[in-house]
Amino acid sequence: MTDYGLDPRRVDPEYDRHGGFPVFEAADPGPGFGRFLTAMRQAQDLAVSVNPDPDTWDEAADRVEELVKLLDPFRAGEGAGPANRVPSLPGAGSLLMPPWTVTRFEADGIELEVTFSRYHVGGNSAVHGGVLPLLFDSMFGMVIHATGRPISRTAFLHVDYRKVTPIDTVLTARGWLREAEGRKAFVNAELLDADGNVLAESNGLMIRLLPGQP
């Protein structure tokens, strides 16, 4: 698998002129961070699915507040903390992202494996429709990086929902550059189940930032 945590200046010498984004170099926070993410994802699933007695909620709140107290002194700026900078972990180590793993990262296309869970349910055991644009938008950024194009932002993103997206099963997501024209990059992505059925597909436009644009 290609290391998608490379310094973007290697593919974009004008990187600093396109909004001055932090340099997202790969981080190595140690095995404890992976354990932390796993536990937090389990906590997210439980937070939206359990129905305990009222006293248990108070006890749970006490423990979460203790966790907040433990971590609060270590707040770090964007690009400094390990979240979103550990390619070997699901979602690159970001709890915001669905837990995907990159299986292919090439100029002609990227591929991920992703498994949604109870935390992502919108109703009737189906993944919430709003979660899929987050996945696709993340993929569009990966496509831009994989093709060596300059840093860009999403101008628009369109999603077609073809079938219900299930939880607790490994799905495949693919993304690729369809066409490039100057600052514009038109990108596509799709989400498939194990049988190759298209669950959702997306197309979007990524625009290269001009000097000084955030």
Domain assignment of residue 192, given as a range:
17-208
| DSSP secondary structure code for residue 150 in this structure | P
User: CB neighbours (10 Å) of residue 147?
Assistant: 18
Is 2 among the domain residues? no
Best CA proximity match to 1, nearest among 124, 112, 123: 112
Is 4 among the domain residues? no
Is 144 among the domain residues? yes
Prediction pTM value: 0.89
pLDDT band of residue 71 (cuts 50, 70, 90) is very high
pLDDT band of residue 97 (cuts 50, 70, 90) is very high
The domain total for the chain is 1
φ and ψ at 43, to 5 degrees?
Answer: -65, -40
Is 48 among the domain residues? yes
Q: Please report the pLDDT score of residue 5 as a whole number.
A: 47
Paired tokens of 90: 């699901």
Is 7 among the domain residues? no
Mean pLDDT of the chain: 90
pLDDT band of residue 1 (cuts 50, 70, 90) is very low
Q: Please report the pLDDT score of residue 7 as a whole number.
A: 56
Residue 209 has pLDDT above 50, yes or no: yes
Q: Evaluate whether 191 touches 161 at the Cβ level (below 8 Å).
A: no
CATH code of the domain containing 173: 3.10.129.10
Is 37 among the domain residues? yes
Is 197 among the domain residues? yes
Is 32 among the domain residues? yes
Residue-wise pLDDT tens digits, 130-163: 999 999 999 999 999 999 888 899 999 999 999 9
